[in-house]
Amino acid sequence: MPEDPHHRSRGSDHPVGMDVARRVPPADGGGDDDDAAAIGLCWGQPKIPDPFVWPLADALASSETELDAPVVDVGAAMRGGGDGDGMRRAAEQVAAACASHGLFQVTGHGLDPALARAALDGAAAFFRLPLAAKQRARRAPGDVTGYAAAHVDRFTANLPWKETLSFGHRDHWAAGAHVVVDYFTSVLGSDFKPLGVCVYHGHTNRVVYQDYCEAMKQVSLAIMEVIGVSLGVGRSCYRDFFADGCSIMRCNYYPRCPEPERALGTGPHCDPSALTLLLQDGAVDGLQVLVDGEWRPVRPRPGALVVNIGDTFTALSNGRYRSCLHRAVVHRERERRSLAFFLCPREDRVVRPPPRLLATARGQEERRRRYPDFTWADMARFTQRHYRADARTLDALARWLGAASPTCDAATSASQSQDKAQETV
């Protein structure tokens, strides 16, 4: 088994100060009921406990300058349009954002507002439940699905001021399987079925989270078409790669915090997945992106979805598109909710850039690979069992896999990582 990176030492060159020397390993026997109960009591206290206090380097003050993130109309891709002006304009906007900081917002996605509202309301209903009820869905060690209170099942310091509920989604709709509903009823019990099946916009007994995940998957694939055009590999290249993939749905709840200047809802990190689609509830901001050494807020826009590039797609683009380094802040007087949909490939699919992206201008030689081959199963296992996702997860994964590959130029990889750290949770 490759060396556990938690036991490696590294210098203090991390852009936001989270070096390996103080990255916290998973707590022994994570998921203890007493730990979760203690966390539940923290939300109403006048001071935050020490495990929630983040180092100053990570909790730098927010910038007054809003992130320059384009609003991209993906309607042409959603409608199956060809290479018209709408697609070209969308591809140009996406290319500029992804080469810079890795985040943009999308409209024209066709998401039913009533479905979005029902999904947000369902999450709110879950987080209002007594802790004992939520603990029935407690996430098992090493798993990506289930309920987590401040991730006390995994860490003992730098805890995020939030609760989450995560579950998986696969494309089994054609077979008539309600995968998400099955999760709610099998893990939480039949009395939780209304969270998976309820009424929205007059549609009786619609499977809300199944419908929502399916809608997000279709939007994700349309965005992958736009990204393919932007990189010159064609509309179908990345769409086909993710068509049979797995996805993760996560409901986030950020309670009011008595000392928001010392806490974080989510620490600085890049998402391990390929693409993240975020639906924010109302006008409460919280998402921030690191650009030029400043944490710039992402203003919620009515009707828009926030999209950011993750580490898996950075590898698929051979480093041309940046994984978005971001964090979430919390507020003293306002709580915040959001829904995050993480697009991932099939577990056994090999992540490597398409040949057309590696070809030189003459098409005779291949450009140097910046990252080794890996599967989504590798990435998921690494980030759930061995490493706390941060700004250098992709490089750490390469080391963990023993990335002594003749196609992987170490100097180029290090240079790209440094650029990402300087310019881009």
Residue 213 CA to residue 178 CA, distance in Å, equals: 11
| Structure tokens belonging to residue 310 | 């993750």
- Amino acid in the structure at residue 358: L
**CA 243 → CA 170, 237, 312, 343, 357, distances in Å?**
10, 10, 15, 10, 20
| Structure tokens belonging to residue 102 | 């890795």
CB hemisphere CA count around 377 (13 angstroms): 5
Residue appearing with tokens 């978005």: 324
- Amino acid in the structure at residue 81: G
State the catalytic residue, choosing from 23, 138, 139, 336: 336
- If you write DSSP's letter for every residue of 199-257 in order, what string do you get? EETTEEEE-HHHHHHHHHHHHHHHHHHHHHHHHTS-SHHHHHHHTT--EEEEEEEE---
- Asked if 336 is an active-site residue, the reply is yes
CB hemisphere CA count around 413 (13 angstroms): 23
Residue 334 CA to residue 168 CA, distance in Å, equals: 29
What positions carry a catalytic annotation?
Answer: 336
